[in-house]
């Protein structure tokens, strides 16, 4: 016989119980905010960008006059717009170089943070600060560090005797990091590494801490050295997780425009332009909305191919 309390609860809210039992309806309700968000902030702008890229749209004339692939041919014309090809190559250079450095440093940092030492929680918090800091504010800080007159790096180099008359780095007293092509590219890569390293390190650290300690102990009992354990035990086990960290880094760096926009605005000349910044300068500041949309759309197939290759490799590694 059921108690009165159970009877009252069961009799008081049959509608609620029926709603709670309808998994399909509850799933749709829970998914609705995410779907609305994606449609409003991703799908709609993407559709507008496709429409603009196939039309002759400018800031002064927003009529959608269909022109086919004419905008894509214009932006890919090496003689008329060499900046596009430089932006495309710089996008690959910045992204691949930065992520190669990030993966190496993230492995080292993850190994250190996974160890037990005094104050490790404070160390982990400090490591995450670059990722938690708004990228625009962090890049403004780097803009001061690379300043052509007041850079603290120049002061340190002068102090140790590497910069100035009769020194290794030349007679000048300033490196002019953002005014020289090679140094400007290196500066952009450095800021990308600083930005992405904490996230990759935390992801890899989570993978390292999930490895059963019995495997490590067994390898140590068998006489394996630290490097052999790391390269033959740890790395194969965390390769799928490393692929996810790499995918996040590639996507964030491919589509990022803040670092280049704040540091160099694509200069000197247009030697540090990336696709995102060149699309902005062409479409927004230049007023050629159609050509800016066409440039921006080149990011989509690139990111799609990168995501497919990384996820397929991660899946194969996980199955193996």
Q: What is the pLDDT of residues 215-262, one digit of tens each?
A: 888 888 888 888 888 888 888 888 888 888 888 888 888 888 999 999
> H or E element: which one contains 306?
helix 299-319
Residue 109 belongs to what domain range? 81-319
Q: What is the pLDDT of residues 30-76, one digit of tens each?
A: 888 888 988 888 888 889 889 999 998 888 887 888 888 898 998 88
Count of C-beta atoms within a 10 Å radius of residue 226: 10
Does any domain span residue 63? no
Does any domain span residue 290? yes
Does any domain span residue 61? no
Does any domain span residue 30? no
Distances (CA, A) of 172 to 168, 175, 302: 11, 7, 41
Q: CATH code at 108?
A: 1.10.3720.10
With b for 16 or more beta-carbon neighbours within 10 A and e for fewer, the 131-164 pattern comes to beeebeebbeebbeebbeeebeebeebeeeeebb
Q: Tokens representing 243? A: 């692929």
Does any domain span residue 238? yes
| 3-class DSSP assignment, residue 234 | helix
Does any domain span residue 216? yes
Report the C-alpha gap between 257 and 308 in whole angstroms: 23
Number of domains in the chain: 1
Does any domain span residue 68? no
CB 58 within 8 A of CB 289: yes
Q: Is the pLDDT of residue 9 over 50?
A: no
Does any domain span residue 37? no
181 has which bridge partners? none
Q: What is the pLDDT of residues 174-195, one digit of tens each?
A: 888 998 989 999 999 999 999 9
């Amino acid at each position: 016989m059921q108690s009165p309390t159970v009877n009252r609860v069961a009799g008081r809210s049959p509608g609620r119980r029926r709603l709670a039992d309808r998994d399909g309806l509850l799933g749709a309700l829970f998914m609705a905010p995410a779907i609305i968000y994606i449609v409003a902030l991703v799908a709609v702008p993407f559709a507008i960008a496709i429409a603009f890229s196939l039309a002759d749209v400018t800031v002064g004339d927003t009529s959608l006059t269909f022109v086919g692939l004419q905008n894509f041919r214009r932006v890919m014309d090496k003689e008329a717009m060499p900046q596009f090809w430089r932006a495309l190559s710089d996008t690959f250079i910045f992204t691949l170089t930065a992520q190669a450095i990030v993966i190496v440093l993230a492995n080292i940092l993850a190994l250190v943070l996974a160890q037990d030492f005094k104050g490790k929680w404070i160390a982990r918090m400090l490591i995450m600060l670059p990722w938690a800091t708004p990228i625009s504010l962090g890049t403004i800080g780097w803009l001061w560090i690379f300043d052509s007159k007041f850079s603290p790096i120049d002061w340190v180099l002068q102090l140790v005797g590497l910069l100035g008359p009769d020194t290794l780095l030349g007679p000048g007293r300033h490196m002019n990091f953002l005014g020289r092509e090679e140094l400007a590219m290196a500066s952009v890569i450095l800021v990308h590494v600083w930005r992405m390293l904490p996230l990759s390190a935390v992801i890899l650290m989570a993978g390292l801490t999930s490895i059963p300690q019995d495997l490590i102990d067994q390898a140590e009992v068998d006489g394996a050295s630290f490097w052999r354990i790391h390269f033959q035990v740890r790395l194969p086990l965390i390769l799928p997780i490393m692929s996810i960290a790499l995918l996040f880094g590639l996507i964030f760096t491919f589509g990022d425009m803040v670092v280049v926009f704040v540091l160099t605005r694509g200069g000197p000349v247009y030697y540090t332009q990336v696709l995102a910044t060149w699309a902005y300068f062409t479409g927004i500041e230049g007023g050629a909305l159609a050509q800016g949309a066409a440039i921006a759309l080149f990011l989509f197939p690139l990111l799609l191919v990168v995501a497919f290759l990384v996820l397929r490799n991660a899946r194969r590694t996980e199955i193996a």
